[in-house]
């Protein structure tokens, strides 16, 4: 049985899903949906149709799982419930504070239509959430630490681009190695925002721009930069595009906790990701979740789920006997 | 609703379960079962009864989940199916090659009795298995690497103790740092057994024993040591007991894989454990799995499961809304 996947939105993430479906032995890409003119959208797969987004509802019989590849700010809150009326769906909704409200909306739509939805898949939220859950379940007396990077923060890069005089910019979030080392050594440090990460910015300024003013505007920007030690490097537009066009990211979730009658034993669980392309990796998680969504639906489940609700075996193409024989 | 837990077998692992249940807000320890004379078994919990193991079946109404804390060689293959006829059960069966056969026996017994069983919980098998599953599901084109230690291998320590002239011994398995670093750097190295781990032995010899003969017997022991670079340190019995009585362990599971249309992106997922007490940590995993077993049973499920089948949220004491709000 082949799972027929649709991609709704074709940017970096959608292209990543296209690549990941190609590596899935049990899936086929049935169509790509775009709000642009389909004739102008060139995809990687030779024989897959590109449709106008509005065509999607008419294709209920052709697609099993629709993977939503839009943004969390305005696309997914509308699109995921909409598509859940027609397909099993997976999204990467990552506005942490609004997940309960998104969950409720998608759950309602999916239940009404008898569909299965997985939201907030990816690595944070997603794999990092899983590791926080496993860590807290196993070591209830302990502390969680999450470090991000080294990697590109697109939100922070965008914030710099909005400063007058900035032509383009790229911001790297960098964990403070000494803080990571202290956590891994089980020292349970109390860490401020500034202790955990630094921010490194590469900025191409417009000709004649006031560089000192740009640097001050960056370093004092509330929430984005003012609570961090920030370094600003001015580079040419050519250098920026040549050396800083990739989207690497990653990070670590660490649980440090005690066991024993009097807390005399100490354990550290560390989960770490090093990703050369954030959207490609996130897409690979979405595709594994599409498999799980399809299987949960096949078993008669409907409504909304997150990765916290997915039995790990459902993410794997192998059957349960093979998994037990080869992975346990 | 409080989950009433029983402990079947009271060694290091059973004591660890006792400690972990004390930290679980939703569980209570209902009894400890031993094959020894209960009057001779002193446990940590002040008001918990110790029973003769044979009493267990008569206590169906008093215990929800029995956690089996015996050994994999001869205890669990008999005890887990036996106890699954009376209780929901959790064990840490870790003879990897025999897991399918143990699964089948426990599944049959649990289904016949309408009980839910979780076998092979712990960290390897267990958390390491989960990470192999997540890694392969997300990065199907890649390689798995598992490193163990630094930590005490009880099986290798026992093997040394059986050599004539050895009074006592402790063996540490140590991962080769250069191999770990190459894997984490994404180099996808081909590693032999010798490349991955070294073995370090602390041996207290009997008076007048032939130390050179002991060292040769260790280093040439088939499977246990002959494929490794092994170091032997002779120490006094006092020093051995003073400095090498703890049971630290740990290790790492690393998935290194590619994505992208032509495999042009590269990602590394690393999961690492650093444990001051192997049995205490394993026990903490068993207790989280007992919670999941009880909940799966409450939802009407019966038969055998492994951690690959458990939705992570079921391991956590918090309700699903709280988990989504705090962990995602």
B39 reaches A (C-beta below 8 A): no
pLDDT at residue A1, as a whole number: 79
Report strand pairing: B151-152 vs A65-68: unpaired
CA-nearest residue to A137 within chain B is B316
CA-nearest residue to A136 within chain B is B316
In the three-class reduction of DSSP (H, G, I as helix; E, B as strand; rest coil), residue A265 is classed as strand
Mean pLDDT (chain A, rounded): 97
pLDDT at residue B89, as a whole number: 98
A141 with B307: Cβ contact below 8 A: no
Give the strand order in the sheet containing A116-118. A50-52, A27-34, A3-8, A65-68, A88-90, A116-118, A303-305
In the three-class reduction of DSSP (H, G, I as helix; E, B as strand; rest coil), residue A115 is classed as coil
Mean pLDDT of A52-69: 97
CA dihedral sign, ordered A293, A272, B93, B318? negative
Mean pLDDT of B284-313: 98
Nearest CA to CA, how far is A290 from chain B (Å)?
Answer: 11
In the three-class reduction of DSSP (H, G, I as helix; E, B as strand; rest coil), residue B180 is classed as helix
A19 reaches B (C-beta below 8 A): yes
The yes-or-no verdict on residue B130 having pLDDT over 90 is yes
- pLDDT tens readout for residues B248-258: 999 999 999 99
Contact B313, A309 (CB under 8 A): yes
* DSSP string for B5-63: EEEES-SHHHHHHHHHHHT-TTEEEEEEEESS-GGG---S-TT--EEEGGGGGGGTTT-
Q: Which two tokens stand for residue B328?
A: 């995602």
Nearest CA to CA, how far is A104 from chain B (Å)?
Answer: 10
- pLDDT tens readout for residues B153-174: 999 999 999 999 999 999 999 9
How many Cβ atoms sit within 10 Å of the Cβ of residue A171? 26
Rg of chain A over all Cα atoms, to the nearest angstrom = 22
Question: H helices within chain B, ranges in order?
Answer: 12-22, 75-84, 99-113, 127-138, 154-161, 177-184, 193-196, 211-219, 237-243, 278-298, 320-327
Contact A114, A84 (CB under 8 A): no
- pLDDT tens readout for residues B76-106: 999 999 999 999 999 999 999 999 999 999 9
Q: What angle do CA B103, B108, B110 make, to 5 degrees?
A: 90
B327 with A136: Cβ contact below 8 A: yes
B307 reaches A (C-beta below 8 A): yes
DSSP A282: H
Whole-model pTM: value is: 0.96
Nearest Cα to A127, choosing from B296, B285, B275, B130? B130
CB nearest A130 (choices: B186, B283, B312): B312
Rg of chain B over all Cα atoms, to the nearest angstrom = 22
Q: Which two tokens stand for residue B277?
A: 């007490």
C-alpha to C-alpha distance for A8 and B84, rounded to whole angstroms: 47
Contact B195, B263 (CB under 8 A): no
| Predicted-complex ipTM score | 0.96
The yes-or-no verdict on residue B1 having pLDDT over 90 is no
pLDDT band at B122 (very low <50, low <70, confident <90, very high): very high
């Amino acid at each position: 049985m082949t799972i027929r996947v649709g991609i709704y939105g074709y940017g970096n993430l959608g292209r990543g899903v296209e690549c990941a479906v190609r590596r899935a032995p049990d899936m086929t890409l049935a169509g790509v949906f775009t709000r642009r003119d389909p004739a102008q959208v060139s995809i990687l797969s030779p024989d897959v149709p590109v449709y106008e987004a509005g065509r999607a509802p008419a294709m209920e019989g052709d697609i099993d799982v629709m993977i939503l590849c839009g943004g969390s700010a305005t696309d997914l809150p509308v699109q995921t419930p909409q598509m859940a009326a027609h397909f099993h769906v997976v999204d990467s909704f990552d506005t942490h504070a609004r997940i309960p409200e998104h969950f409720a909306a998608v759950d309602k739509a999916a239940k009404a239509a008898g569909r299965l939805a997985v939201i907030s898949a990816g690595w944070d939220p997603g794999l990092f959430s899983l590791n926080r859950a496993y860590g807290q379940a196993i070591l209830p007396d302990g502390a969680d630490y999450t470090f991000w990077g080294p990697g590109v923060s697109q939100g922070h890069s965008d914030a710099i681009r909005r400063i007058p005089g900035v032509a383009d910019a790229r911001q790297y979030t960098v964990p403070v190695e000494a803080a990571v080392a202290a956590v891994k050594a089980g020292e349970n440090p109390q860490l401020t925002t500034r202790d955990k990460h630094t921010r490194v910015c590469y900025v191409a300024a417009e000709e004649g721009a006031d560089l000192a003013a740009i640097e001050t505007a960056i370093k004092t920007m509330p929430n984005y930069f003012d609570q961090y030690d920030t370094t600003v490097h001015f580079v040419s537009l050519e250098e920026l595009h040549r050396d800083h066009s990739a989207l690497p990211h990653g990070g670590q979730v660490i649980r440090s906790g005690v066991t024993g009658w009097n807390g005399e034993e100490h354990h550290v669980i560390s989960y770490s990701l090093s990703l050369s392309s954030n959207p490609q990796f996130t897409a690979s998680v979405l595709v594994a979740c599409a498999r799980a969504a399809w299987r949960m639906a096949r078993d008669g489940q409907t409504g909304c789920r997150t990765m916290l609700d997915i039995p790990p075996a459902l993410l794997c193409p192998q059957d349960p006997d093979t998994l037990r024989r080869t992975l346990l």
